Amino acid sequence: MHLQDLLIYFFFIPLLGYIFSVLISKKRESALALTAIITSGVQLFGTIVFGAFWISNGQITLDIKQITILKTPDFDFYIAFIFDQNSFIYLLVGSVLTLLVSVFSKYYIHREQGFKKYFNNVQLFFVGYSVVVIAGNFETLFLGWELIGITSFLLISFYNNRYLPVKNAMKVVSLYRLGDVFLILSMWLSHHLWHGNISFYAIKNNPAKALMLINEHPALSISIALCIFIGASVKSAMYPFSSWVARAMEGPSSSSAIFYGSLSIHLGVFLLLRTYDFWSQIEYLNCLIIAIGLLTSFICNTIARAQSTVKTQIAYASITQIGLIFIEIGFGFNTFALIHFMGNAFLRTYQILVSPSVMNYLIHNQLFAAPRPVSKLKNAFATTLHMWSIKEFDMDTTLFKYLWQPFKQIGVYLNFLNTPWLFVFNISLLVLGIYLDINTFSTHQLLLDVFVYLFATIALILLLISFNERLSSKQAWVNVFLGHLFIMMSISINSHIELRYLLLYLLSICFFGFLGLFAISKLQSLTNKISLDTYHGSGKEHPKLSMLFLIACIGLIGFPISPLYIGIDLFLTYIEKHQYFIMGLVALSLIFIELSLLRIYTRLFCGIPDIVNEPTAFKSS
């Protein structure tokens, strides 16, 4: 057996641990914690042994194509793994820190109602993290990327009977989804640049071909590099996306340590390192990475010094160091960046885990032995900078005003369309599109182009209406379902996709669409609370129904539990490289599909439970 044949075990070990964790009863805390400890411990031992053999064999980059899931004349969706210096360091650090946090969490989360949920999500995160760091192509990497995104949302909203954790979970996932879509755009553009799927190994071992393609297609290559950079910047919280990390600290301290102190937040760095051999040949992008890293380090350092809460200070201190790591990568000091990553990850994990104890000590010291504060006069610049730092440079407000508010306003203006007649009109239009596709489009190119753009536009309109729906969750859900159908029709008539691939997409939409509709109808019969004007907190009384609806949501999003995950990636390859407007509409639709569905989930099942004698956490908490 060759060394690369063993790479699959770095995926199977955490996956088996997660499956065992799901099967264990929530009453058996010790078994749940032990499963997580054994899983990360075995992964650590395997990484050390495998790494020793790999180093002794000359540290040759290992690459293997494991399995082809779907193959068409123009598209090959396959799972591939790669192992090099980046994979080794990230696997090693990830296994060590997951092991330490699992041991710590056994006592820290003891007797919490969500003990099982916590360890299940940590295990699922470890699966996603392991997939990302050994992924051999964009499709495999994106699979792990999605797993990390959904577990982040679930752990930030861990205390989901309170307002702020749920609200902040939505803020974080909205930016996560923005980064996801830019990664999807980089995959789509890469398919057209390389005329097929491309592995990271091929880019790493053939930089001359990459340089040739960059010189032949400079605009396309720069677009790919920018999409990768934006995706990495969002994931690693570079300016102006830095504020989400402090919001993500609403979850338990132990999950904050592993996600936003050490592992998850450094995956943007990993993405740049993994694709370095491609984008490093574009000089402008190197300068951009250095500039953004420098700006982020300056701003986040000043914010960290001014903030009054310890976890916020640690969050911005961590981002400051990641900004410096971006600078190191921009200058080509990749090995030094890996060393910096290890130091920052271990330090921030330690700081977050001990932060409750430190706070307890400092408060005790403040009560009994605090020195009297001495006021100092500051100049106008220092005072202004201090106030900006306290306000976190208004990043939250700026992002909302210029990124999300325009779409919310459009949704409000379009709300007059949200009538029962809209459903009849949309179904009629879909039937007309199918008829014209069979009988007319082949001889009328102009009519075909009109319907392609019309359907993509209608999909986005439906999703914006759903995103702003305040009354009926059923109506919001149906609009998302119809939006998916219009996306499917737009792309299918654009490229005449084979019927079997259409069925792969359509059956997935229908299954999860009707599953979600069933869950909403069941909730309506039990509580009659399905409006979206407040957080109902029904998950407390109906946990199984909450889980069923969450599965429907993530299935309709395109999470890797359904063929829809493959279908979305397959469909995007049928959008031509010159059809930027169509791809832009579809990309925006993918963002608002996830935001609309998770918004419905949080409004129905999260928030303050309406139960007699149940402790209530108000917004001010």
pLDDT tens for each residue of 123-160: 999 999 999 999 999 989 999 999 999 999 999 988 88
For 41-77, what is each residue's pLDDT tens digit?
A: 999 999 999 999 999 988 898 998 888 887 777 777 8
Q: Which of 44, 4, 88 is CA-nearest to residue 335?
A: 88
Cα separation of 618 and 601, whole Å?
Answer: 20
* Dihedrals phi, psi of 354, to nearest 5 degrees: -95, -5
Q: According to the model, what pLDDT value does residue 343 have?
A: 94
Is the confidence at residue 595, as pLDDT, over 90?
yes
Asked, for residue 406, whether it belongs to a domain, the answer is: no
Residue 424 lies in domain? 418-605
Distances (CA, A) of 96 to 99, 314, 346, 509, 616: 5, 20, 9, 39, 38
Q: Among 464, 497, 468, 499, which residue's Cα sits nearest to residue 482?
A: 464
- Asked if residue 264 and residue 198 are part of one domain, the reply reads yes
Cα–Cα distance for residue pair 192/520, rounded to 1 Å: 41
DSSP character string of 349-417: HHHHHHHHHHHHHHHHHHHHHPPPP------HHHHHHHHHHHTGGGHHHHHIIIIIHHHHHHHHHGGGG
Which DSSP string do the residues of 263-314 spell out, in sequence order? SGGGHHHHHHHHTHHHHTT-HHHHHHHHHHHHHHHHHHHHHHHH-SSHHHHH
For residues 343 and 433, membership in a common domain is answered with no
> Of residues 440 and 38, which shows the higher confidence score?
38
Measured distance CA(132)–CA(202) in Å, rounded: 17
Of 312, 345, 361, the last residue of a domain is 361
Containing 63, the helix (H) or strand (E) segment is: strand 62-71
Q: What is the mean pLDDT of residues 190-194?
A: 85
Instruction: Provide DSSP, 424-458.
Output: HHHHHHHHHHHHHHHHTGGG-HHHHHHHHHHHHHH
Q: Rounded to 5 degrees, what angle do the CA atoms 481, 487, 493 make?
A: 135
> Tokens standing for 145?
């990327």
Round to whole Å and give the CA distance between 191 and 611. 53
541: phi then psi, degrees, rounded to nearest 5 = -85, -30
The SS3 assignment for 558 reads: coil
Rounded to the nearest angstrom, the gap between the alpha carbon of residue 273 and the centroid of all alpha carbons in its chain is: 19
The residue-averaged pLDDT of 569-581 equals 83
Lowest mean pLDDT among 390-399, 466-475, 574-583, 604-613: 604-613
Q: What is the pLDDT of residues 296-312, one digit of tens each?
A: 999 999 999 888 888 88
CA–CA separation, 620 and 169 (whole Å): 17
CA dist., res. 3 & res. 54, Å (int) = 8
Query: Which is more confidently placed, 607 or 289?
Result: 289
**Which residue from 151, 132, 134, 150 is spatially nearest to 142, judged by alpha carbons?**
132
200 and 284 belong to one structural domain: yes
Tell me what pLDDT residue 612 has.
46
**For the range 548-552, what are the long-range contacts, defined as Cβ-Cβ under 8 Å and sequence gap of 24 or more?**
548/515, 548/519, 549/516, 549/519, 549/520, 549/523, 549/601, 549/604, 549/605, 550/601, 550/605, 551/512, 551/515, 552/512, 552/513, 552/515, 552/516, 552/519
Token pair in block for residue 296 = 């982020």
Q: Which residue has the tokens 């004007």?
A: 533
Q: Is residue 468 part of a domain?
A: yes
pLDDT at residue 496 greater than cutoff 80:
no
pLDDT for position 620 = 42
Burial group, residue 508, by CB count within 10 angstroms (0-12, 13-18, 19+)? buried
C-alpha 244/C-alpha 324 separation (Å) is 19
- Where b means 16+ CB within 10 Å and e means fewer, 315-329 reads bbbbbbbbbbbbbbb
Domain boundary among 361, 376, 395: 361
Q: Please indicate, yes or no, if residue 409 is contained in any of the structural domains.
A: no
Burial 383-403 (b: 16+ CB within 10 A, else e): eebeeebeebbebbeebeeee
Whether 353 maps to a domain, the answer reads yes
Tell me: do 324 and 430 sit in the same domain. no
Give yes or no for a contact between 210 and 277, defined as CB atoms under 8 angstroms apart: yes
pLDDT at position 369 is: 61
User: Does residue 86 lie within any of the structural domains?
Assistant: yes
Residues 341 and 448 in one domain: no
H or E stretch at 76: strand 76-83
* Rounded distance between C-alpha atoms, residue 314 and residue 267, angstroms: 18
Residue 321: what pLDDT?
95
What distances in angstroms separate CA 114 from CA 311, 367, 403, one per listed residue? Answer: 22, 34, 34
Highest mean pLDDT among 196-210, 360-374, 397-411, 468-482: 468-482
**What tens digit of pLDDT does each residue of 433-483 get?**
888 877 776 677 788 888 889 999 999 999 999 999 888 899 999 999 999
- Asked, for residue 393, whether it belongs to a domain, the answer is no
Residue 141: both structure tokens together: 């990497």
Give the per-residue pLDDT at 72. 74
Helix, strand, or coil (residue 10): helix
Residue 426, CA atoms < 13 Å, CB-side half-sphere: 26
pLDDT (mean) for 550-574:
85
Confidence label for 619 from pLDDT (cuts 50, 70 and 90): very low
pLDDT at 68: 83
pLDDT in tens, 522-537: 999 998 888 988 888 8
pLDDT at 378: 66
Residue 497 lies in a domain: yes
Lowest mean pLDDT among 107-121, 495-509, 514-528: 495-509
Place 81 in a pLDDT band, splitting at 50, 70 and 90: very high
Q: Which residue has the higher pLDDT, 443 or 169?
A: 169
151 in the same domain as 13: yes
**What does the pLDDT read at residue 56?**
92
Rounded average pLDDT over 93-113:
91
Mean model confidence pLDDT for the chain: 87
CB 193 within 8 A of CB 217: yes
Is there a single domain that holds both residue 342 and residue 455?
A: no
Q: Are 310 and 436 members of one domain?
A: no
Report pLDDT for 123.
Answer: 94
> Per-residue pLDDT for 349 more than 50?
yes
Domain count, the chain: 2
| 336 and 472 share one domain | no
* Shared-domain flag, residues 356 and 435: no
d(CA 154, CA 429): 37
Report which DSSP code applies to 135. Answer: B
Same domain, 310 and 441: no
Give the integer Cα–Cα distance in Å for 475 and 470: 10
Question: Mean pLDDT lowest for which of 94-98, 364-368, 453-457?
Answer: 364-368
Contact 354, 104 (CB under 8 A): no
Q: Are residues 339 and 422 in the same domain?
A: no
pLDDT at 295: 95
Whether 379 is in a domain gets the answer no
